[in-house]
Amino acid sequence: MEKTWNNKAWFLVLPVLVLVAFSAVIPLMTVVNYSVQDTFGNNVFFWAGTEWFEELLSSSRFWEAMVRNLIFSFIILAIEVPLGIFIALNMPKKGWGVPVCLVLMALPLLIPWNVVGTIWQVFGRNDIGLLGYYVNALGIDYNYVQDPFDAWVTVIVMDVWHWTSLVVLLCYAGLVSIPDAFYQAAKIDGASRWAVFRYIQLPKMNRVLLIAVLLRFMDSFMIYTEPFVVTGGGPGNSTTFLSIDLVKTALGQFDLGPAAAMSLVYFLIVLLLSWVFYTVMTNYDAER
């Protein structure tokens, strides 16, 4: 659509600007302020320069949490995206099945995140949980409270359970926008199932897939509540992701300086990723 140049449009944006300034800019400035200062309590602050940043970037704890978080994000993307596409391809296209499938599949997305944690905490326990009990009954030693590997499996399965539906819904939206004529043409040409997927369905899903991958990456990169409720970051530190580590430092120990420095580094990484996302997407829009 042709847009007209009009700087008065700023007045329409003003309410949003004020609101977001209050809930984003001021808090962020507080963080910047703390990140370069030290305190011994009683609101007495000293200039500390880049001390906290140097300490953070040389601390193995931060890098370990970062690596854990990246591994986690990549594992869940590798599972959720192909699985989501596969399920979306098998969804009914019309009839009564469509609303039923959509509503039931979207259900996990609307559960408060700590309740998701609670559900899996209970479900996976080997004394009172359906999953834990039967997995152990099958002779597999499974205990997410004590074994780091089992804790990881639980957290990953939980995330797949929680968020695969998002990928399914997005892919499905892309698929239903393909006109029937495309499929008919492919059938007449005798295209194989794979060719239909590769040359008709995948190109149509490109855009929604991009959104799905990036939303899932961002959200898994800032995951906090669900693993915190299930494992509390343990056993040991094995499931302590970046957000959990940050909250431990900031609200648990009230180490303002280190927490603020960590917040900023964390936020800058997210900012960089958002920029990549935005650029790729606007370029994609321009091509169309």
Which residues within the stretch 158-197 sit at the binding site for other proteins (CB under 8 A)?
Answer: 161, 164-166, 168-170, 172-174, 177, 183-184, 187-188, 193
280 part of the interface to other proteins, by CB under 8 A: no
* Residue 271: both structure tokens together: 């900012």
Is the Cβ of residue 67 or residue 195 nearer to other proteins in the bound state? 195
Is the Cβ of residue 4 or residue 42 nearer to other proteins in the bound state? 4
140 part of the interface to other proteins, by CB under 8 A: no
44 part of the interface to other proteins, by CB under 8 A: no
H or E segment and range at residue 6: none
266 part of the interface to other proteins, by CB under 8 A: yes
62 part of the interface to other proteins, by CB under 8 A: no
Half-sphere exposure of 47 (CA within 13 A, CB side): 1
How many angstroms separate the CA atoms of 144 and 155, rounded? 9
Residue closest to 150 by CA, chosen among 220, 230, 59: 230
Query: Which residues, 6 or more positions from 117, have their beta carbon under 8 angstroms from its beta carbon?
Result: 158, 225, 226, 227, 228, 229, 230
Q: Which of 37, 39, 114, 237 binds other proteins (CB under 8 A)?
A: 114
Q: Which of 48, 81, 178, 218 binds other proteins (CB under 8 A)?
A: 218
How many angstroms separate the CA atoms of 220 and 234, rounded? 18
> Minimal distance in Å, beta carbon 56 to other proteins?
14
H or E segment and range at residue 46: strand 45-47
> Minimal distance in Å, beta carbon 86 to other proteins?
7
User: Which range in 48-56, 58-66, 71-79, 272-280 contacts other proteins by CB under 8 A?
Assistant: 272-280
Is the Cβ of residue 123 or residue 144 nearer to other proteins in the bound state? 123
Assign 3-class secondary structure to 85-141. Answer: HHHHHCCCCCCCHHHHHHHHHHHHHHCCHHHHHHHHHHHHCCCCCHHHHHHHHCCCC
Longest CA pairwise span in the chain (Å): 79
> Minimal distance in Å, beta carbon 233 to other proteins?
13
User: Which range in 49-57, 73-81, 147-155, 221-229 contacts other proteins by CB under 8 A?
Assistant: 221-229
